[in-house]
Amino acid sequence: MLKQYPSLGCCGLDCGMCPAYYTDGPSRCPGCGGEDFFEKHPSCSFITCCVKKRGLEVCAHCEEYPCAKVEGASDGPDVKTTAKKILQNQQFIQEFGIAKFLEQQDLRMGTLRGMLDHYNDGRSKTFYCLAATLLSVDGLNKALTEADQRVEVEGVGKNDLKSRAKILKGILTRQADQEGEVLKMRKGKQS
Protein backbone atom coordinates (compact mmCIF):
# COMPACT_ATOMS: atom_id res chain seq x y z
CA MET A 1 0.00 0.00 0.00
CA LEU A 2 1.43 3.36 -1.06
CA LYS A 3 -0.83 5.74 0.84
CA GLN A 4 -2.18 5.88 4.34
CA TYR A 5 -5.67 6.97 3.20
CA PRO A 6 -6.72 5.16 -0.01
CA SER A 7 -10.30 6.49 0.28
CA LEU A 8 -8.87 9.88 -0.74
CA GLY A 9 -7.14 10.18 -4.08
CA CYS A 10 -3.90 12.11 -3.99
CA CYS A 11 -5.41 14.18 -6.83
CA GLY A 12 -8.41 15.03 -4.65
CA LEU A 13 -10.94 12.54 -6.01
CA ASP A 14 -13.23 11.07 -3.37
CA CYS A 15 -12.30 7.41 -3.95
CA GLY A 16 -14.45 6.45 -0.96
CA MET A 17 -17.52 7.60 -2.90
CA CYS A 18 -16.80 5.60 -6.06
CA PRO A 19 -19.05 2.67 -7.03
CA ALA A 20 -15.97 0.54 -7.77
CA TYR A 21 -14.85 1.04 -4.15
CA TYR A 22 -18.07 -0.75 -3.08
CA THR A 23 -17.86 -3.62 -5.56
CA ASP A 24 -17.27 -7.16 -4.37
CA GLY A 25 -14.85 -9.41 -6.19
CA PRO A 26 -11.85 -8.84 -8.43
CA SER A 27 -13.17 -5.64 -10.03
CA ARG A 28 -13.24 -3.85 -6.65
CA CYS A 29 -11.01 -0.77 -6.61
CA PRO A 30 -8.83 -0.53 -3.51
CA GLY A 31 -8.77 3.27 -3.66
CA CYS A 32 -5.82 5.51 -4.40
CA GLY A 33 -2.57 3.73 -3.65
CA GLY A 34 -4.41 0.92 -1.87
CA GLU A 35 -3.49 -2.75 -2.02
CA ASP A 36 -3.18 -3.96 -5.64
CA PHE A 37 -3.77 -0.41 -6.92
CA PHE A 38 -1.41 -0.76 -9.86
CA GLU A 39 -3.13 -3.93 -11.05
CA LYS A 40 -6.27 -1.85 -11.56
CA HIS A 41 -4.67 1.51 -12.44
CA PRO A 42 -1.33 0.72 -14.10
CA SER A 43 -0.58 4.34 -15.00
CA CYS A 44 -1.41 7.24 -12.70
CA SER A 45 0.62 10.41 -13.14
CA PHE A 46 -0.76 11.84 -9.90
CA ILE A 47 0.56 8.92 -7.84
CA THR A 48 3.91 9.16 -9.63
CA CYS A 49 4.29 12.87 -8.92
CA CYS A 50 2.61 13.23 -5.52
CA VAL A 51 3.31 9.96 -3.75
CA LYS A 52 6.34 8.35 -5.42
CA LYS A 53 8.40 11.46 -6.19
CA ARG A 54 7.39 13.75 -3.33
CA GLY A 55 6.23 11.32 -0.62
CA LEU A 56 2.96 13.21 -0.05
CA GLU A 57 -0.52 11.92 0.73
CA VAL A 58 -2.36 14.54 -1.36
CA CYS A 59 -1.45 17.19 -3.89
CA ALA A 60 -2.71 19.90 -1.51
CA HIS A 61 0.41 19.28 0.61
CA CYS A 62 2.74 20.11 -2.29
CA GLU A 63 4.46 23.49 -2.35
CA GLU A 64 3.72 23.68 -6.10
CA TYR A 65 -0.03 23.19 -5.61
CA PRO A 66 -2.13 23.98 -7.56
CA CYS A 67 -0.24 22.85 -10.62
CA ALA A 68 -1.49 22.62 -14.20
CA LYS A 69 -2.03 18.86 -13.80
CA VAL A 70 -4.50 19.32 -10.94
CA GLU A 71 -6.25 22.26 -12.54
CA GLY A 72 -6.59 20.38 -15.85
CA ALA A 73 -8.04 17.29 -14.16
CA SER A 74 -11.07 19.19 -12.90
CA ASP A 75 -11.68 21.49 -15.84
CA GLY A 76 -13.27 21.19 -19.24
CA PRO A 77 -16.47 19.87 -20.78
CA ASP A 78 -15.34 16.23 -20.91
CA VAL A 79 -14.63 15.90 -17.19
CA LYS A 80 -17.04 13.79 -15.18
CA THR A 81 -19.12 15.46 -12.50
CA THR A 82 -17.23 13.83 -9.62
CA ALA A 83 -13.90 15.21 -10.89
CA LYS A 84 -15.27 18.72 -10.45
CA LYS A 85 -14.77 18.18 -6.70
CA ILE A 86 -10.99 17.77 -7.03
CA LEU A 87 -10.13 21.42 -6.42
CA GLN A 88 -12.80 21.82 -3.74
CA ASN A 89 -11.47 18.82 -1.84
CA GLN A 90 -7.85 19.98 -2.12
CA GLN A 91 -8.82 23.50 -1.00
CA PHE A 92 -10.70 22.05 1.99
CA ILE A 93 -7.62 20.02 2.94
CA GLN A 94 -5.38 23.09 2.69
CA GLU A 95 -7.74 25.17 4.80
CA PHE A 96 -8.87 22.66 7.44
CA GLY A 97 -6.39 19.77 7.20
CA ILE A 98 -6.59 16.21 6.02
CA ALA A 99 -7.95 14.93 9.35
CA LYS A 100 -11.00 17.18 9.10
CA PHE A 101 -11.53 16.15 5.46
CA LEU A 102 -11.35 12.46 6.39
CA GLU A 103 -13.76 13.04 9.26
CA GLN A 104 -16.29 14.50 6.80
CA GLN A 105 -15.55 11.74 4.30
CA ASP A 106 -16.16 9.07 6.96
CA LEU A 107 -19.58 10.61 7.64
CA ARG A 108 -20.37 10.57 3.91
CA MET A 109 -19.14 7.00 3.56
CA GLY A 110 -21.26 5.90 6.53
CA THR A 111 -24.37 7.44 5.02
CA LEU A 112 -23.52 5.94 1.63
CA ARG A 113 -23.18 2.49 3.21
CA GLY A 114 -26.63 2.96 4.73
CA MET A 115 -28.05 3.81 1.31
CA LEU A 116 -26.35 0.83 -0.32
CA ASP A 117 -27.33 -1.58 2.46
CA HIS A 118 -31.00 -0.61 2.66
CA TYR A 119 -31.98 1.11 -0.60
CA ASN A 120 -29.91 -0.37 -3.42
CA ASP A 121 -32.12 -2.04 -5.98
CA GLY A 122 -29.09 -3.17 -7.99
CA ARG A 123 -29.33 -0.17 -10.31
CA SER A 124 -28.85 2.76 -7.94
CA LYS A 125 -25.29 2.41 -6.63
CA THR A 126 -23.79 5.02 -8.98
CA PHE A 127 -26.60 7.45 -8.19
CA TYR A 128 -26.06 7.06 -4.44
CA CYS A 129 -22.29 7.43 -4.82
CA LEU A 130 -22.78 10.62 -6.81
CA ALA A 131 -25.17 11.98 -4.19
CA ALA A 132 -22.66 11.15 -1.43
CA THR A 133 -19.97 12.99 -3.38
CA LEU A 134 -21.90 16.13 -4.21
CA LEU A 135 -24.39 16.74 -1.41
CA SER A 136 -23.67 18.16 2.02
CA VAL A 137 -23.31 15.76 4.94
CA ASP A 138 -26.36 17.34 6.57
CA GLY A 139 -28.34 17.02 3.33
CA LEU A 140 -27.41 13.35 2.98
CA ASN A 141 -28.39 12.55 6.54
CA LYS A 142 -31.63 14.50 6.21
CA ALA A 143 -32.50 12.60 3.00
CA LEU A 144 -31.73 9.19 4.49
CA THR A 145 -33.72 9.96 7.65
CA GLU A 146 -36.69 11.13 5.57
CA ALA A 147 -36.49 8.00 3.42
CA ASP A 148 -36.39 5.78 6.51
CA GLN A 149 -39.49 7.53 7.85
CA ARG A 150 -41.39 7.29 4.56
CA VAL A 151 -40.54 3.62 4.16
CA GLU A 152 -41.87 2.94 7.65
CA VAL A 153 -45.03 5.04 7.24
CA GLU A 154 -45.80 3.51 3.83
CA GLY A 155 -45.01 0.00 5.09
CA VAL A 156 -42.44 -0.73 2.39
CA GLY A 157 -40.82 -4.06 3.17
CA LYS A 158 -37.07 -4.63 3.44
CA ASN A 159 -37.10 -6.77 0.32
CA ASP A 160 -39.01 -4.26 -1.82
CA LEU A 161 -35.79 -2.57 -2.90
CA LYS A 162 -37.32 -1.11 -6.05
CA SER A 163 -39.86 0.92 -4.04
CA ARG A 164 -37.28 1.82 -1.41
CA ALA A 165 -34.86 3.06 -4.10
CA LYS A 166 -37.56 5.12 -5.77
CA ILE A 167 -38.35 6.85 -2.48
CA LEU A 168 -34.71 7.63 -1.63
CA LYS A 169 -33.80 8.72 -5.15
CA GLY A 170 -36.73 11.16 -5.20
CA ILE A 171 -35.69 12.64 -1.86
CA LEU A 172 -32.02 12.90 -2.89
CA THR A 173 -32.98 14.59 -6.16
CA ARG A 174 -35.06 17.15 -4.24
CA GLN A 175 -32.16 17.71 -1.82
CA ALA A 176 -29.79 18.18 -4.77
CA ASP A 177 -32.12 20.82 -6.22
CA GLN A 178 -32.11 22.64 -2.88
CA GLU A 179 -28.30 22.56 -2.82
CA GLY A 180 -27.93 23.57 -6.47
CA GLU A 181 -26.48 20.22 -7.57
CA VAL A 182 -27.46 17.87 -10.37
CA LEU A 183 -27.30 14.14 -9.71
CA LYS A 184 -26.47 13.10 -13.23
CA MET A 185 -23.09 11.91 -14.49
CA ARG A 186 -21.54 13.71 -17.42
CA LYS A 187 -20.18 11.46 -20.11
CA GLY A 188 -16.49 11.72 -20.89
CA LYS A 189 -13.14 10.61 -19.72
CA GLN A 190 -12.46 9.84 -16.09
CA SER A 191 -9.76 12.06 -14.68
Q: What is the CA radius of gyration of the chain?
A: 17
Residue 93 confidence (pLDDT) above 50: yes
Separation CA 129–CA 140 (nearest Å): 11
Give the pLDDT confidence of 9-64 residue by residue, as tens digits: 998 889 999 999 999 888 898 999 888 888 877 778 888 899 999 999 999 999 98
> Between the CA of residue 106 and those of 16, 101, 133, 136, what are the distances in Å?
9, 9, 12, 13
38's enclosing H/E stretch is helix 37-40
Residue 112 confidence (pLDDT) above 90: yes
Residue 78 confidence (pLDDT) above 70: no
Helix 137-154 to helix 125-134 angle (10° resolution) is 140
Look at residue 57 and give its three-state secondary structure. Answer: coil
Predicted TM-score (pTM) of the model is: 0.87
Separation CA 38–CA 21 (nearest Å): 15
